[in-house]
Structure 1
C-alpha cells in the first residue's frame, strides 16, 4: 500500500486483536435491538436518514471490497459518479430520456429504472442493496430532473451539455447537504467549526486533489454508520404500528421492483418528526450479523482493519498531539476524555474482551471511534449519543472535505482561489436552486429535509 492510501504515516506493526477476540466481538457486539435512547436526555436528534446518506456517500468514493472487472472505476472525488456514471454516449442512452432527465420506473415513481430482469440500471449496483438507499438514489435522480426542468437553459438542445450542466448543479447541492446538514449533525462541534466554518487547512492540502481514499477512513472511521443502523424502520404510515425488520429491507439481484409496502415517506427519515438512528457506540443491531453475500459486519470490519494494519485509535490520537499541534489546540483535543471502558451492563462482555486493549492503548481505530462517540467534553452531555468524538471527526472531516474540494480543482490541482472562498464557490455552482431553497428557511442552510420539502411542492 502506498503512502497515498494513508491519512497518517503510521500503521500497526502487529495485529491489535487475536483471532479469538475478533470472533468473540463479532458475537458480543451484536444486540437484538441497538438502542436509540440515552440514559441522559438529549436535545440533539440524529435522524435515521443520515445512516443511509452516509452509505450513499461511501458508495460514491470507496471502491467495493471485492471489485470485479465489470465494476465502475470509483474515484476519491465526491462527484456523484455512482448516480451519473461516466456520462459516455452509452450511459446517457441507457440512463436518460431525450430531455436529459433520468429514466423513470414504468410502475413506481419511487423505484429505480430497471431492466428486463428487474435489475436496477444504475452505475453502482451497491445502491440497490437495500430499499432505503435505493430510494435515496432515486430521490437524487429526481433532484436532477427538477434541475433539468426548471433551471437548465431550455434553448440548449445538446442533451449531453444539458446533463453535464445539471450534474454540476446537483453535485454542488449534494456537497452543501453534506457540509451544512450531514457533517454539521455528525461531527463534534468544535471540529466542525474548524473545518467548515473557519476552513482551516491541517493535514491534507487544499491544492492537491485526493488520489485515493485513506484507509483510516474507509476501513475504520466512516464505518461508524454500521452502529447507527436500526433493527426496524417505519417506512410509511402503513407500517407505523409494525415497523419493518432490517433484513426485510435488504435486496438481492433477484428481488425485483420495490413494493408499495416499502415505499418511503421521507419525513420518517429526515426532519423534526423522523425516527432516530441508533446510537453510535459499540453496539450493533443483530440484523447486521447475516448480511447476504457479506456475513457478520463486525467480523468483516475487524478483519479488514487487521489486514490493512490500521493503527489503534490511541496511536492516531498521539500522532495528532505530536505532529498536528495547531489542530490539536484548535479543537481542544487535550480536553476530550480518555477513551476507556464504560459501565453499560449490555456492553460488559465487549469491555471484558477488550480489557487489555484499553489498558495497553491498542484499541483498533474503528472500535475507538465508536467508543469515543459515547464520550463528550460537554458538561451537560447534550451531544453524547449522536456525534462522533474528536479523532473520528478529524478523520471524517479531512477526507470528506478534500473529497469535495477535489471536484472543483482543475486537473493537477492548485486552485487559485483562497481557501476561505471554497464554500462560496460551491454555493455559486449550486446557483439559483440553492438560493431558492435556503431563502425559505430561517437558518439559510441546505438540509435533506428542506430539499425534499421544496422539490415535493406542487408546481404552479
Structure 2
C-alpha cells in the first residue's frame, strides 16, 4: 500500500487504479495502475518558484540569455505546438486543491489531429467562420492602418483573424486568439485552406476522381493530411528522442491503449506536452518594426510577451492605448514569418528556448488568473503546472520510468543545478513530480535540445496513437501517402513550406512570393 507520508496517495472511487482497457472518457490515464504522487502543496510552490531563468543577454536586457537558446528549433514551433494542443484538448476545469478525476473532465476538442479548432462544425452549422458569398473559403480579417518607426504608413491588408465588432475573433477555438503568435499561426492555416480551394478550382492542384467530394471537402482533406505530416515529421521530429519514436513505429504502442476511441491521457496533457512552456521566449524579433535595436536601429521595441498578449481581441486591450472595442490589429503587427521558420537563409530566425526546468522571467507572474481555494493565489506558470499535476493525481516521474522499464534519473541528476537543490530539500530527488521530471530528463539526457526517454515515449505514443485511432487520418487511409503540394524538398512538407504556399511570407515588407521559391 503506498504511504501518504512519502508523497503518494491511494486513489479512491473513480480514481481507483484500473486495467489498461477500462472504460474512459475523452480524458483518461495512460498509467492507471500507478499511484498518485501528491506531495505537500507548499513544497510544489517552492519548487515552481525556483524554475525561473532570470538571465538576460548582457548586451540587451529585453533579450533572453543566448545560453538558453535551442538552435535546433525555430521559435515558430513553440506556437505551432500551442496550436496543436488547442486542436487536441480543451479542459475548462478550474485549478483546485482537491484531486480531480480525469474521466469526469470533459474534453471539448475531439482527441484527433483533425483541425476541428479551425473548421468548427463546418460552413452550414457555423457560417460566420466562412465568407458570406463563398462558403467554401474562410473569412479573413482586415487590419487597421498604421505606420512604422519612421512614420511611413504600412499598407492596409487582410492579415488578421476575422473579428466581430467587439474585436473578439470568430474562431473554432477562441484560445487561438490568446496571443498574437498563436493567432497568426491560426491565420496561416485559414490562408492555407483558401489557397488550396483556389488551386482546386483553377486546376493548379489536380482534383481526385472522387466525384462525390465537394471542393471544400477535398481541400479540407489536403489541409488536414499536410498538417498531420507537419506535426509528425517537422515538429515532433525536432523535439523527440528518435530512438523512442522508432520503437513505437517498429514495435507498436505499449502504454497508450484504448479499445475503440482514443482519449487524451492526463500524463500527456498535464505533464509531457506542457514542454512548450519551457520553449517560450521573453521577447522576439517579430518584424522590421518590432525588433531589437541592434537588428533595426529605427524599430519601436522588441515584441515582448506582454505586447504579444495585449494585441489580441481576447485580451480586450488591442491596441493597449486605443478604444479597445473598435480596434483591429494594426498593420505594423503583421508577422514576418522568415523570423520564425527557416524560410530565407538571409534572415536569422528566433530560436525556441531549451527544454529544461527553467521558464523565462515573465512567466513567473501571470495576470488575470483565478483563485485557488485555501492558499495564496499562485501567479507562476510553473507553480500552476505542478499544482495541476497534483490535482490530477499524476504518478511520479520515477514510477513512470520504472513502469516503462527505463532507467530513472539518479538522485544526483535530479539534484543537480539550482533547481535541483530546491528539489532535494523536499526529497523530490527520490520521487519527482512528473512535469518537472520530464523537463529535468530533457536537460540531463539531451542537453535541453529534445525530450528524454520518458517524455519522448509518452508524446510519441499519444500522437501516433491518435493518428492510428482516427479513421480519416493518412496513417489509416493511406500509410504510404506523401505530401503532394509544392515543397522545398518534394515528397515532404514543413510549416515553412505551408507559409511559402500561402505566399504571405512578410506582408509588412511586401514579400508575397516564396523566398526562395519551393521546388516541385
Give the structure with higher Rg (CA): 2
Q: How does 1:115-264 map to 2 (within 5 A)?
A: 115-151=164-200, 161-196=214-249, 198=250, 200-204=252-256, 208-210=260-262, 212-241=263-292, 242-250=301-309, 251=312, 252-256=314-318, 257-264=328-335
**Aligned partners of 1:148 and 1:166 also within 8 Å:** yes
d(CA) in 2 for partners of 1:122, 1:95? 10
TM-score (norm 1): 0.80
- Aligned position for 1:57: 84
- Aligned position for 1:390: 453
Q: Which moved more, 1:106-115 or 1:158-167?
A: 158-167
- Are 2:435 and 1:366 equivalent residues in the alignment? yes
Of structures 1 and 2, the one with the larger relative CO (CA 8 A, separation 6+) is: 1
Q: Where is the helix percentage greater, Structure 1 or Structure 2? A: 1
**Aligned partners of 2:412 and 2:429 also within 8 Å:** no
- Are 2:65 and 1:6 equivalent residues in the alignment? no
- Are 2:493 and 1:446 equivalent residues in the alignment? yes
Q: Which moved more, 1:307-316 or 1:163-172?
A: 163-172
d(CA) in 2 for partners of 1:297, 1:111? 28
**SS of the counterpart of 1:254?**
coil
| Distance change in 2, residues 1:243/1:343 (3 Å) | farther
Residue correspondences, number: 414
| Distance change in 2, residues 1:163/1:291 (3 Å) | farther
- Aligned position for 1:25: 47
d(CA) in 1 for partners of 2:286, 2:315? 22
**Aligned partners of 1:314 and 1:363 also within 8 Å:** yes
**CA offset digits 1:377-401 (Å, max 9, x no partner):** xxxxxx5232000100011111111
**Aligned partners of 1:78 and 1:403 also within 8 Å:** yes
| Distance change in 2, residues 1:139/1:13 (3 Å) | closer
**Aligned partners of 1:72 and 1:124 also within 8 Å:** no
**SS of the counterpart of 2:353?**
coil
| Distance change in 2, residues 1:152/1:58 (3 Å) | farther
Alpha-carbon offset, residue 30 of structure 1: 2.1
Alpha-carbon offset, residue 408 of structure 1: 2.3
**Aligned partners of 1:36 and 1:278 also within 8 Å:** no
- Within the candidate set 399, 402, 411, 1:318 is matched to 402
- Within the candidate set 112, 117, 128, 1:77 is matched to 112
Alpha-carbon offset, residue 238 of structure 1: 2.0
d(CA) in 1 for partners of 2:428, 2:48? 21
**CA offset digits 1:126-151 (Å, max 9, x no partner):** 00000000000000001101111102
**Aligned partners of 2:255 and 2:461 also within 8 Å:** yes
**SS of the counterpart of 2:122?**
coil
- Aligned position for 1:379: none
| Distance change in 2, residues 1:203/1:168 (3 Å) | same
Unaligned stretches of 5+ residues in structure 1: 322-332, 377-382, 411-420
Q: Where is the strand percentage greater, Structure 1 or Structure 2? A: 2
